[in-house]
């Protein structure tokens, strides 16, 4: 499945997820990704490290994730 996404070395993969629809989503290490415009042009307020993690799933607040991002429930309710 990696080859279908032009990835030929598993060591280039930072994270891979098999989605509910059966497709594979892959995040390569930044130094292994193909260059894109956002790599060259400045991106204000861009968070480019890691992967987005949901804070609320099925109505349940995942406090560990919230606090790991230095956020709190007050911030969440304001958003």
Q: pLDDT tens-digit profile of 28-41? A: 888 887 777 666 66
Rounded CA gap, 4 and 51, in Å?
Answer: 22
- Range list of β-strands (E), 1-77: 13-18, 24-28, 56-57, 60-61
Residues of the chain whose pLDDT is less than 50? 46-48
CA distances from 30 to 14, 51, 63 (A): 9, 12, 28
Q: What is the pTM of this model?
A: 0.43
- Burial readout 48-70 (b: 16 or more C-beta within 10 A, e: otherwise): eeeeeeebeeeeeeeeeebeeee
Residues whose CB falls within 8 Å of the CB of residue 38, separated by 6 or more in sequence, listed in order: 46
């Amino acid at each position: 499945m990696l080859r279908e996404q032009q990835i030929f070395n598993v060591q280039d993969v930072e994270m891979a997820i098999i989605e509910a629809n059966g497709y594979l989503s892959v995040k390569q290490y930044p130094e292994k990704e193909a260059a894109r415009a956002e790599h060259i042009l400045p991106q204000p307020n861009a968070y480019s490290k890691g992967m987005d993690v949901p804070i609320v799933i099925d109505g349940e607040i995942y406090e560990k994730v919230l606090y790991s991002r230095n956020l709190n429930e007050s911030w969440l309710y304001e958003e």
